[in-house]
Structure 1
Amino acid sequence: MTASQITTWSAEAGNASKCDRSRFRVVVDVGHTVQAPGALSARSVPEYDFNLRLGQQIHQRLIADGFTGTVLLVTEGEARPSLFKRVATANELPADLLLSIHHDSVPDWFLEDWEFEGTPSHFSDRFSGYSLFVSGNNPDYDASLLFAKLLGKQLKGRGLQYARQYREAFMGKYQHELVDADLGIYRYDPLIVLKEAKMPSVLLEAGSIINRDEELQMNSRKRRDLITASVKDAVRAFCDVGSGG
């Protein structure tokens, strides 16, 4: 899928909506759970809190934009069972697109010690940026990759940079194939939430919360607004393309 094709589709979407937004169902999956909250930020805030807040804002924005069937998927339970539970819920709806919201950290060997407000914590300022992940095992990989490209183009167009460390050998088991070096899209084939979904699915790592500066940015309304607008415009374009645009 070329950049010129994406640009053309985006322009067409801006001129006139070709899809029935009210019938196009997006599942906004809030990554992790209260019981398994994911990574801790540099200031010891659970990743789940960031995911929920951004997911809620994206959900509200899509509904306001006419995607009234959008579902905010919030699950409970321990990590692995909750993954299968959220995918099963999405598959039963059914849905046209699943976007899983996460915030990034680093492998333990990159962590450094510091104190925030008198409490010991950990940080790593080495890496920053968003990442997009797709699975080659998803039954609609091409459409998943297309949406990832549409979203990556929107994020890049708003001045955001992607995290480049996942392509490096020093990431060990966390190294992934970079399938789009311009937009920051990686393949993560065995990821349950992507491979088990019956609809196009993309995981967004919205930014690094273990990076002290980027954590503050991710905690700001300005950054959430940028990401939310990017998702909204990408969903618009994806919906139009799927409707014959």
Structure 2
Amino acid sequence: MNRVSVFLMFFVLCSISFYSFGQNLEYKIKTIVIDAGHGGKDPGAVGKQCYEKDIVLSIALKTGKYIKDNFPNIKVVYTRTTDVFIPLQERPEIANKNKADLFLSIHANSLENNTRTYGTETFILGLHKSKDNLAVAMKENSVMLYEDDYTNKYEGFNPKDPASYIIFNLMHSLHIDNSTSMAQHTEHQFKERVGRRSRGVKAAELWVLRKASMPSVLIEVGFISNPTEERFLRSEKGQDYMASGIFRAFRSYKEEIERHSSRTLEAKEKPIILESSTKVYYCVQIKSSSKKISLNDKVFEGLENVVETHVNGVYKYSVGQSSNLKTIIDEKKQIKKIIPDCFIVAYHKGKPISIKEAKKIQKS
């Protein structure tokens, strides 16, 4: 794939993401796709007593059952439910075709000639910051080598060549906030509730995440090259614990983004006309101009309920008006995906004031 093609693909995906933000502020998670890594002729990591493909399939199925039992309205889709080989590119495509709201890819780790390293780690799509992260990416991406004509299928990508990983420079920011949130919840549950050693949230150039058009994470449940951890992951109890940890992380993630979505929609459904208000209101300023801009202008594409104010001869445009500063802070995190240089401002009696002054007025 040449650079022009990469750029065009990035532009289209970003456009889809921005459109979704403007059209789908309030949503409930309806579909989750759970991907058990490897399978069939691809064993994945090989331990002394087990294969990665078997451990992660069991954990994936248990995770899905926890979700179905607790959230019967959520559709759970598996990339595989038996010991079969699924090409790498088909896994995220299953999520895309099912319009999934979240994609979880479950794996187990291994280090050659190292039996001491242990612990969990959860990856999001991004640029590797260490050789260890690159090594994980190369290991997981090398699944494509089991496929015929993989060079053409994967657009000339060579999982063993570090130079191939430059294409991820243009892709790592999509869905980054929600993916990071799910990853953080996962590692928190593994550490605090399951009692495992957490190696943290990391970023790597993982093809299976790159092709997913929704928040997605790759979970490494432990190192089967470590005999103690291998025994735990092989056991029914260990697999139950890991699955329940992933489920609880999903539950926390679901509650977080749905709660935020409801707050955001409420703020946008009830815009405040700042000029006529006697209360203190906060908002996210997205644009200012000496000339009036139509609210239907392309510059506001993907945004809803844009409010115009005219202060000292300058037209200012903002979104997300609320008297609750916390709501606006959350709002800004979302708006920054579209307008990176947006910032929070406060108004009182139609005039802009400092955040400090606004807080003082609200306390009085």
TM-score (norm. length: structure 2): 0.48
Q: How much has 1:226 moved relative to structure 2?
A: 1.9
> Partner of 2:255 in structure 1?
240
Aligned partners of 2:30 and 2:256: how far apart in 1?
12
Aligned partners of 2:47 and 2:109: how far apart in 1?
9
| Aligned residues of 1:25 and 1:70 also touching (Cα < 8 A) | yes
1:27 is matched by which residue type in structure 2? V
Aligned partners of 2:196 and 2:180: how far apart in 1?
19
Q: How much has 1:138 moved relative to structure 2?
A: 5.7
> Partner of 1:219 in structure 2?
234
1:32 is matched by which residue type in structure 2? H
Aligned partners of 1:138 and 1:196: how far apart in 2?
13
| Aligned residues of 2:39 and 2:54 also touching (Cα < 8 A) | no
Q: How much has 1:244 moved relative to structure 2?
A: 2.6
Aligned partners of 1:33 and 1:228: how far apart in 2?
19
Q: How much has 1:35 moved relative to structure 2?
A: 1.6
1:171-215 Cα distance to aligned partner (Å, 9 max, x none): xxxxxxxxxxxxx11110x21111111011111110111111111
Aligned partners of 2:173 and 2:61: how far apart in 1?
25
List, as ranges, runs of 4+ consecutive aligned residues in structure 1 with deviation greater than 3 Å.
75-78
1:50 is matched by which residue type in structure 2? I
Alignment of structure 1 residues 57-206 onto 2, 5 Å: 57-67=62-72, 68-74=74-80, 76-77=84-85, 82-106=87-111, 108=112, 111=113, 124-136=114-126, 137=172, 139-158=174-193, 159-163=195-199, 184-188=200-204, 190-206=205-221
Could you tell me the percent identity over the aligned residues? Answer: 30
Taking structure 1 as reference, are residues 77 and 224 closer, same or farther at Cα in structure 2, changes over 3 Å only? closer
| Aligned residues of 2:103 and 2:216 also touching (Cα < 8 A) | yes
Taking structure 1 as reference, are residues 138 and 193 closer, same or farther at Cα in structure 2, changes over 3 Å only? farther
User: Residue 205 of structure 1: SS of its match in structure 2?
Assistant: strand
Do residues 51 (structure 1) and 56 (structure 2) align? yes
1:190-243 Cα distance to aligned partner (Å, 9 max, x none): 211111110111111101111111110111222222222221111112112221
Q: How much has 1:19 moved relative to structure 2?
A: 7.7
| Aligned residues of 1:133 and 1:187 also touching (Cα < 8 A) | yes
Unaligned residue ranges in structure 1 (runs of 5+) = 1-17, 112-123, 164-183
> Partner of 1:170 in structure 2?
none
The range that moved more, 97-106 or 224-233, is: 224-233
User: Residue 154 of structure 1: SS of its match in structure 2?
Assistant: helix
User: Residue 244 of structure 1: SS of its match in structure 2?
Assistant: helix
1:120-149 Cα distance to aligned partner (Å, 9 max, x none): xxxx32201111111132620111001101
Q: What value does the CA root-mean-square deviation take over the aligned residues?
A: 2.0
> Partner of 1:41 in structure 2?
47
TM-score (norm. length: structure 1): 0.71
| Aligned residues of 2:122 and 2:220 also touching (Cα < 8 A) | yes
Structure having greater relative contact order (Cα 8 Å, sep ≥ 6): 1
2:115 is matched by which residue type in structure 1? D
